[in-house]
Amino acid sequence: MRIFGREPVYILAVVAIGLKLGAAYGLDLSAEEQGTIMAVLSLAVAVGTAIVLKTGAAGASIVNLAQGLLALFLAFGLDMSAETQALWMSGIEGVVALLLHREVTAPVPALAIEQKSPLEARA
């Protein structure tokens, strides 16, 4: 996958250097905030990679990106209880599962019981 003709890893490296230089020359970002920004950017690249490479990992990478975004908001001062965070993440995971469930196939063969309903009338 290429962005602007470059590998995403190199773009992330330039952004990381820019953040560090900015912090050194007056940009008001703590080390924790810089790290969180870089983590979210890395997760965004992971989502893009999972979608482009069609690995079937898009759902997991989208959930990880959501967790990274939540961490980013918390690092910048969002006041949210652990229970509320868990509820938000459960909601996101439910939506991702709802949207992607039909596109996921188990890597094992289906069992006979999965082929028909046990409640079906027997002929």
pLDDT at residue number 72: 85
* Whole-prediction pTM: 0.57
Interval 4-20: pLDDT, tens: 666 666 777 777 788 77
Q: Distance between CA 52 and CA 37 in Å, rounded?
A: 23
The size of the chain, in residues, is 123
Kindly list the domain boundaries of the chain, sorted by start residue. Answer: 8-84+91-101
Average pLDDT, the chain: 77
Interval 37-71: pLDDT, tens: 888 887 887 777 777 777 667 777 788 888 888 88
